Structure 1
Amino acid sequence: MGISSETGGTEREANALDRLRQRLRILYHGHSQSALRFQLAVMVVDLLIIAFFVVSPVLRGRPSFLWIDYSIAALLAADISARALAANDIPRWLRQPTSLVDLFILVTLLAPLWLANLGFLRVLRLWSLSRSGFLWRPLTRRGYGPWREIIHSALNLVTFLFVVTGFIYTFFFREGSGLAGYVDALYFTVASITTTGYGDILLPGTWGKLTSVAIMIAGISLFIRLAQAIFRPYKVRYPCPQCGLQRHDPDAVHCKACGYPLKIPDPGD
């Protein structure tokens, strides 16, 4: 009798977990009105969190910082747990770069004082968001699918800009500089990335020069990538079944790489 009760309880718990996972899959990946509203709400929360991450170097000394930090950690932990449960293969989901970035950001939120020097990396959440279906599914439905590569390149550049700004502020401008120091770090980053080089703000020492060189090389590469995405002819993403080539002309009937016949769907369908 006792064994039967335990088995029944285990089955009920398993069924409840399965129902929860199915519900989360519908909310995170579904197309119903309730799922779309949920996805929009999560995306808005993500954008607010990213805004906090951008200004967090300046807010770090304020009494309310830890309350906000731990509240965001609780939200992010709940979101990561829900995404994991919604995944069909949790170990595979955990190995994805976006999942690893989110887990690392959660660790920095849980230890804001110990890992303060790495706090600027939280802006990588913007990169993580740019790779999620939350951003692209509604845009694609509204006909903005062709802009995906341009938006990707722009978000990569913005992410790089604020990660580098946080790095510069943390290691070169932070001591007593406040908002003015953060603006100086942002100004230096933009001047370096654009190779404007006004010369009114310089990073001191050998490490400062090496940092400047790295910023200029990486920044100009991202600018070129963005320019290519904007000005080169429009392509569609459609993997060739034979060779796997991802990008083709919208009216292509054969793969340029291997000649395999393609059946690219009309964007209007």
Structure 2
Amino acid sequence: MATTPTETPAHEGLRLRARLRYLYHGGQPAAVKFRLAVIVIDLAIIGFFLAAPILKEAGWAFYVLDYVIAAVLALDLAARAYAYSDIRDWLKRPIVWIDLFVLATLLFPAWLANLGFLRLLRFWSLLNSDLFWRTIGRRFDDTRVEEITRALAALITFVFVTTGFVYAYFRGKADHIHGYLDALYFTVATLTTTGFGDITLPGNWGRVISIVVMLVGITLFIRLAQTLIRPHKVRFPCPTCGLQKHDPDAVHCKACGQVLCIPDEGH
């Protein structure tokens, strides 16, 4: 359709922003399908990150695919930023900076090769994003399932980020660490504090890294266990004091005594 004289570039920009907001934040079937496609692409990108240590042997083909993924991620971030009402507020979100760093490792793979293992933070940012829970996890948004998933995502992300770090910096330097599987074996053995001792990191820094992995691993395991064992709570902000979590059958807020009308499923 031809652009009418009243349709200035500013108007076109507003129409584009409205369209992007509809796609990224709307609840209509078309918007949900679009976000599902975005999530599928994200999962494919994460798969590429996991296979990167092996795919690097493909030479120039690896870098071509790397830059294609960088272009896709850059377009996605630009679209999300434009769809957001306040870009400055958008930039204050930690998940955004993680995605920007991942993009930097894709744009400069030769210079940031040793930091490539941090690309797997994309998995954590995906499972902690509103886009994921408004699309795939709508039924479980703000529920115990979401809390368990987030805790499990943090643990899995830590395992693979640590594996990538050990592989990038200790391959060929530590005894028996010759491949990605060796690094994964060391990470899991250290993380679970079972450490069989057949694979260790050399030097004082190696001991420090092993200690950090064990401490963080224990913390993440405890957090996951607490999430699994903790009594079920529902999210419902108290209109008086703002307390978010209450017992499913709560009638009054435990903090201030305000009468609550927590919606249920009609049972």
| Alpha-carbon displacement from aligned partner over 1:185-229 (angstroms, at most 9, x marks no partner) | 111111111111111111111100000000000011001111111
* Aligned twin of 2:160: 162
CA contact (8 A) 1:238 1:248 kept: yes
Structure 1 residue 41 displacement after superposition: 0.5
Aligned match for 1:193, one of 188, 191, 194 = 191
Segments of 4+ moved more than 4 angstroms: 8-11
The residue number in structure 2 matching 1:184 is: 182
Match of 2:75 among 62, 65, 78: 78
Aligned residue number for residue 246 of structure 1: 244
1:228 corresponds to which residue? 226
Distance in 1 between the 2:243 and 2:198 partners?
A: 47
1:68 matched residue in structure 2? 65
Letter in 1 for 2:115: L
* 1:10 Cα deviation from its structure 2 partner: 9.6
Instruction: State the distance in 2 between where 1:234 and 1:12 align.
Output: 53
**CA pair 223-59 structure 1, distance change in 2 beyond 3 A:** same
User: CA 1:215 to 1:40, structure 2 compared with 1: closer, same or farther past 3 Å?
Assistant: same
Q: With the length of structure 1 as denominator, give the TM-score of the two structures.
A: 0.90
Following superposition, the deviation at residue 267 of structure 1 comes to 4.6
CA, structure 1 residues 95+256, in 2 after alignment: closer, same or farther (shift >3 Å)?
same
Q: What is the identity, as a one-letter code, of the residue corresponding to 1:98?
A: I
- Whether the 8 Å CA contact 1:168–1:185 is kept in 2: the answer is yes
Q: Matches of 2:150 and 2:266 in 1, distance apart?
A: 22
Find the aligned partners of 2:101 and 2:140 in 1 and give their Cα distance: 34
How many residues are matched? 261
Q: 1: distance between equivalents of 2:261 and 2:92?
A: 32
Gaps of 5+ in 1: 1-7
Aligned AA for 2:221?
F
Q: SS in structure 2 opposite 1:261?
A: coil
TM-score, with structure 2 as normaliser: 0.90
Alignment-derived partner of residue 55 in structure 1: 51
**Structure 2 counterpart of 1:46, from 42, 60, 78:** 42
- Whether the 8 Å contact between 1:40 and 1:134 is mirrored in structure 2 is no
Residue 69 of structure 1: CA displacement? 0.7
Aligned 8 A contact 2:114 2:168 in 1: yes
- Report the equivalent of 1:20: 16
Contact 2:36 2:136 survives alignment (8 Å): no
Specify the SS of the correspondent of 2:249. Answer: coil
Q: 2:140 touches 2:146 (CA, 8 Å); kept in 1?
A: no
Distance 1:227 1:19, change over 3 A: same
* Conserved 8 A contact 1:57-1:120: no
